[in-house]
Amino acid sequence: MLKCRGCGEHMEFITSVKGHRIPVDPEPVQFDVGSVLDATYVSRSGVVFGKGSIVQNGDPLYISHFATCPKASDFRKKQNKKTEAT
Ligand SMILES: [Zn+2]
């Protein structure tokens, strides 16, 4: 099993139907039909479902590691403003 160079977590590559190698977390996620995806997922067969896609069947999906990798958040602006009273 591969490890991410950014965060050190385990990941796998799934080759998409378009031939791209997509890093994903190794644990598949099972969604109910009709669920709206909150991130990019890839099926075992390489079909990519973007954020906002609606789940059409019960196949397990693998979340893109870009969605979970803490190192990938460099291009996303975190808006977790913690207001802590000291
Ligand atoms: Zn990572």
How far, in Å, from the CA of 52 to the mean position of ligand 1? Answer: 22
Structural domain span for residue 10:
2-71
23 in a structural domain: yes
Provide the pLDDT for residue 43: 97
Residue 56 to residue 15: CA distance in whole angstroms: 20
55 in a structural domain: yes
20 in a structural domain: yes
Provide the pLDDT for residue 75: 46
64 in a structural domain: yes
Check pLDDT > 90 for residue 73: no
Domain count for the chain: 1
pTM of the shown model? 0.79
* Mean pLDDT on 75-84: 49
13 in a structural domain: yes
42 in a structural domain: yes
63 in a structural domain: yes
- The model's pLDDT over 4-29, given as tens digits with 9 standing for 90+, comes to 989 999 999 999 999 999 999 999 99
Residue 41 to residue 28: CA distance in whole angstroms: 9
How far, in Å, from the CA of 72 to the mean position of ligand 1? Answer: 7
80 in a structural domain: no
How far, in Å, from the CA of 57 to the mean position of ligand 1? Answer: 28
